[in-house]
Structure 1
Amino acid sequence: MDEAAHAFGVFFRVHFGVPQPAVGASKARGRHLHWGSTGRADIPQPAAVVTLPDRGSGLTEMWASAGGNGRRGVTISCRSESRESTKQNGMILPSPATIASIYRYPVKGLSPESLPEVSLAVGRTLPADRAYAIENGPTGFDPAAPVWKAKTHYLMLMRNERLAALRTHFDDATHTLSIAADGAELARGDLRTAEGRAAIEALFAARFADELRGPPKLLDGAGYSFSDVPMKVVSIINLASVAEIEKMTGCTVDPLRFRANLYVEGWPAWAELDMIGQTLAIGDARLKIVKRTVRCAATNVDPQTAARDMKIPETLQRQLGHADCGVYAEVIEGGRIAKGDAVGVA
């Protein structure tokens, strides 16, 4: 240990200017590293503190102190700080995180469906996520050659908040969509058939007549996604960021206002905004974060009451200088993911 301690002392003197202990009696009791049971050296009085990057878990603080009572020595201590807000080589290292919940939205603008698990495919959205939309007036959409169009072409929460009062369920096996409100079923139809689509369209024609620019039409993109962005992506919300919005507004904020596919708990607030380009490892899948999500007025609508009762984008812009909350990710390696899965950085 004598030579190791000497090496540490020389290293600190040369690289960090740590004050060296005064030389006592020649060949006094030597130089020692005093390590406690917790991995921290026993330091009566630190002479200097240096913070260095630690490749394992964030920042490491190292203390150097001189021995006393005629001793000539260097005492070293290392302490690894939490990874919660650490960056390593410009890359953020989030705290251990998990998938708190998984949701899909079979019809654009309509209610979410919770999923315990789901299989992701490369370059695809969650199965049946935004697979359908209600056209608000003729758009020229051709399911045989689908071209992305902005959400303003469809019924959507940003303008049509009464959609949030509807409770929907989509059955994958039968392709049947059922729509209810206040506990009563309003419509049901097999979306593969003209009759089934007509039953759904009749409901919107009657219920949203004053908000329509033309006859409503249920669109099926046959694998196309009616997402807010042209890419086929998975949307992710950091629940800690939602908690920060609650602090900003002084109100309870239902995370479902953000209509994400994956809700993550365990990351520091806003950590997701600095993770563009990073690859997430979730279950058997890998997802590359490609874009921040700019929030729109849909987040102002309470998903339970359908009331437009908040101003979330405006609050973000005022408090943070932008309206971003959450990110989009592309599936680059398919596989099954489930609620409770760990979220790591691959």
Structure 2
Amino acid sequence: MPQLTAITRFPVKGLGPDPLTTVPLRANHTLPMDRAFAIENGPSPFDAAAPGHVKKKHFLMLAGQAELARLICRYTEFDGRYTVSLDGSTSIAVTLDDADTHQPLFDCLQELVGDAIRGPLRLVHAPDQAMTDIPQPQISLINAASVRDLSTKVGQSLDPVRFRGNLLVDGLSPWEEFELVGQEVRIGGVKCRVESRIRRCAATSVHPGKGERDIDVPAALFEHYGHMDCGLYLTVLEDGEIALGERLNPIAAPH
């Protein structure tokens, strides 16, 4: 029976994972604090007076700045503190919703990615709008068996974290998750609808932790499977809480 083996959010787009053991979900919302903030890389169309979704090319992101994967990041829920360390160095801490605290983070990023900085950096946030790759308020799910199957094909162990999914499920057959598209499922007690497969980009080619591109994952997917998809987008249909170890169960369609 497929089981939830990891829950992960990425409070700042392009930066490191924040693992969870349990999380509340809300209908028609993304995972709480997932890509809630993004780092504007020079001027962008983002309008703080009317905040909304902006294409990822305007932000620092793994697809463009692989070095970001070297950062170890943690978010503290109760006080909104976000800590970042580079290669085990002393951590710096900022409060995500307090612009007066952000400069140490920007200095760290300047040191890390250098010439990739196109202009002034700014942390931006749009309430109720995650800065994910899509504008729809969805969560993402990865099948651990599919990642293992791809690892076997390429002769290299691939950490599922490189696919930056919110939920990792084990217990399905490789690529069986694609059969769920269009169906409703329960994760624990929370009902979700499986919307689509996720087409992968260059961000998945970055080794988590090393901050370098070690394998062309989209090309490997196409070579071995004839597509560049790994994972699913889901819409949360009802409020509820999920936790590690809970099961994923397809909901049988009525006859």
Q: What TM-score comes out, normalization by structure 2 length?
A: 0.94
SS at match of 1:288: strand
What pairs up with 1:50-61 in 2 under 5 angstroms? none
In the TM superposition, structure 1's runs of 4+ consecutive aligned residues that sit over 6 Å from their partners are: none
What pairs up with 1:118-267 in 2 under 5 angstroms? 118-267=23-172
Choose 1 or 2 for highest CA Rg: 1
Q: Is 1:280 paired with 2:185? A: yes
SS at match of 2:102: helix
1:107 is matched with which residue: 4, 12, 15?
12
Alpha carbons 1:201, 1:218 under 8 Å: kept: no
Opposite residue 245 of structure 1, the aligned amino acid is L
Opposite residue 232 of structure 2, the aligned amino acid is V
Percent identical residues:
37
Deviation readout 1:61-88 (Å, 9 max, x if unpaired):
xxxxxxxxxxxxxxxxxxxxxxxxxxxx
Which segments of 5 or more consecutive residues in structure 2 lack a partner in the other structure?
Answer: none
SS at match of 2:53: coil
Alpha carbons 2:53, 2:126 under 8 Å: kept: no
Alpha carbons 2:186, 2:250 under 8 Å: kept: yes
1:70 alignment partner in structure 2: none
1:342 alignment partner in structure 2: 247
Deviates more, 1:177-186 or 1:100-109: 177-186
Q: Is 1:331 paired with 2:231? A: no
SS at match of 2:196: strand
The alpha carbon displacement at 1:259 in A equals 0.5
Deviation readout 1:8-39 (Å, 9 max, x if unpaired):
xxxxxxxxxxxxxxxxxxxxxxxxxxxxxxxx
Opposite residue 208 of structure 1, the aligned amino acid is V
Opposite residue 217 of structure 1, the aligned amino acid is R
CA gap of 1:276–1:166, structure 2 versus 1, over 3 A, is same
Count of residue correspondences = 251
Which segments of 5 or more consecutive residues in structure 1 lack a partner in the other structure?
Answer: 1-95
Alpha carbons 1:205, 1:215 under 8 Å: kept: no
Alpha carbons 1:299, 1:312 under 8 Å: kept: yes
Deviates more, 1:164-173 or 1:195-204: 195-204
The alpha carbon displacement at 1:280 in A equals 1.2
The alpha carbon displacement at 1:211 in A equals 0.3
What pairs up with 1:8-19 in 2 under 5 angstroms? none
Opposite residue 146 of structure 1, the aligned amino acid is P
CA gap of 1:333–1:158, structure 2 versus 1, over 3 A, is same
The alpha carbon displacement at 1:191 in A equals 2.1
Alpha carbons 1:178, 1:185 under 8 Å: kept: no
SS at match of 2:51: coil
SS at match of 1:185: coil
The alpha carbon displacement at 1:149 in A equals 2.0
The alpha carbon displacement at 1:186 in A equals 4.5
What pairs up with 1:66-105 in 2 under 5 angstroms? 96-105=1-10
SS at match of 2:208: coil
What pairs up with 1:284-299 in 2 under 5 angstroms? 284-299=189-204
Structure with the bigger RCO (C-alpha within 8 Å, sep 6+) is: 2
**Distance across 2 between alignment mates of 1:172 and 1:249:** 38
Deviates more, 1:272-281 or 1:252-261: 272-281
**Distance across 1 between alignment mates of 2:57 and 2:171:** 34
Alpha carbons 1:104, 1:261 under 8 Å: kept: yes
> What root-mean-square deviation, in Å, do the aligned CA atoms of Structure 1 and Structure 2 show?
1.3
**Distance across 2 between alignment mates of 1:219 and 1:210:** 21
CA gap of 1:218–1:322, structure 2 versus 1, over 3 A, is same
